[in-house]
Copies of this chain bind each other. A is one copy, B any other.
Amino acid sequence: MDDTTFAVLGTGGIGRRALEVSADKPDLTPVAACDRHGVAVDHDGLDVDELLAATEGNIASDGGATVEGGSTGIKQAGADKGVAASVQADPTESPIDDVIAESDAIDAVLVALPNLEHDFIPRVAERFAEADFEGVLVDVLKRSRVIGMLDDREETLEDAGITFVCGAGATPGFLTGAAALAAQSFVEVHEVDIWWGVGLKSGYEDNRGTVREDIAHLDGYDIETARAMTDEEIEELVDEHDGVLEFHDMEHADDVLLERAGICDAEDVTVGGVLDLRNDEKPTTTTVTVTGETFDGEVATNTFELGDDTSMEANVNGPALGYLKAAVRHNRAGDYGVFGPAELMPGF
């Protein structure tokens, strides 16, 4: 495959790490990055080291918070903060439009904004479509209902020539991909069970976007109430649970994405997990089990386990860039519209 140029919207945890990880892959060239206050563009390839050093405080606010304007920890450089502190960047009040203006020379855009309103990313996609962007958009969202909002815009995306891959991080991306692969033993899948463990010793302070996103899945919370919580309220909630939050029957996009890919019915998918904010060790092993019936009538379970020493960050960013590259191949082949990660897998 030829080289792929990509942009990152949001330079919180996920965006920064995508830039960092891409440095290991010569066929991926980051050419643009933005946060709420600044935009850096270099079509020959950004100087990732400089950009990351200049914006290093951003990691404390993670993806969403940065673009939302959370200022905690964002590095100051004179009047500039965040991306604007980089010598490669300019301050701006319209970062996304600035990236769109450069998008003729961008193959793919990683939308690393985990914690905004439900329809924020669909609306961002629409703006790219209105500007006739022909290329790939990838997000790492985890909520089922966003898929429907993207589907509502599918014709717009197709007309522009956009291949949109939603939910391409660890969950649902990596794990639904594993489920789709594991399903190939079976002519009928009875049940997919996704159970994840994440250990983030660095705690809430360093992982705001991700933690807030997860809290939205707890009983009694949704994305709006989680978003409305103050940092203190979140710290309090975490304290109440001694730093360990356990989730069951999450409204996660995995179910919808596996149904879209023809693997099983959404109702046959269960998702849960444990988030430990006081230990880096995973509190439980991330495991995908797929139970089904083979063509010769046997019922069996295939299992995919992630090593406990693979961090959430590694399992988000590797797959996100893997799906991004797969999507570029689809896009170049004229395959436009909305795709879940599992739809990019071979599937019987």
Question: Is A266 part of the binding interface, using a Cβ–Cβ cutoff of 8 Å?
Answer: no
Question: Is A240 part of the binding interface, using a Cβ–Cβ cutoff of 8 Å?
Answer: no
**Residues of B contacting A20 with CB < 8 Å?**
295
Q: Are A308 and B300 in contact (CB under 8 A)?
A: yes
**Residues of B contacting A347 with CB < 8 Å?**
322, 325-326
Q: Are A294 and B321 in contact (CB under 8 A)?
A: no
**Residues of B contacting A319 with CB < 8 Å?**
184, 346, 348
A-side interface mostly? mixed
* Residues of A162-211 contacting chain B, CB below 8 A: 174, 177-178, 181-182, 184-188
Across the interface, name the chain B residue whose C-beta is closest to A315.
B185
Question: Is A72 part of the binding interface, using a Cβ–Cβ cutoff of 8 Å?
Answer: no
Q: How far is the CA of A329 from the CA of B301 in the complex (A)?
A: 28
Interface centre among A298, A304, A310, A313 (most CB of B within 10 A): A310
**Residues of B contacting A17 with CB < 8 Å?**
295
Task: Using A333-B334, A333-B335, A346-B345 as known contacts, say yes or no to A296 and B313 having CB atoms under 8 A apart.
Answer: yes
Q: Are B298 and A21 in contact (CB under 8 A)?
A: no
Q: How far is the CA of A319 from the CA of B326 in the complex (A)?
A: 19
**Residues of B contacting A24 with CB < 8 Å?**
187-188, 295
Question: Is A303 part of the binding interface, using a Cβ–Cβ cutoff of 8 Å?
Answer: yes
**Residues of B contacting A220 with CB < 8 Å?**
none
A311's contact among B184, B298, B334, by CB below 8 Å, is which?
B298
A314's contact among B25, B296, B314, by CB below 8 Å, is which?
B296
Task: Using A24-B295, A184-B319 as known contacts, say yes or no to A325 and B303 having CB atoms under 8 A apart.
Answer: no
Pairs A–B under 8 Å by Cβ, sample size 30? A21-B187, A25-B187, A174-B185, A178-B181, A181-B181, A182-B304, A184-B319, A184-B322, A185-B307, A186-B310, A187-B318, A291-B307, A294-B309, A294-B311, A294-B313, A295-B313, A296-B314, A298-B310, A298-B311, A300-B308, A302-B307, A303-B304, A303-B307, A304-B304, A319-B348, A325-B346, A325-B347, A326-B346, A333-B333, A344-B346
Residues of A within 8 A of B (CB): 17, 20-21, 24-25, 174, 177-178, 181-182, 184-188, 291, 294-296, 298-311, 313-315, 317-319, 321-323, 325-326, 329-330, 333-335, 341, 344-348
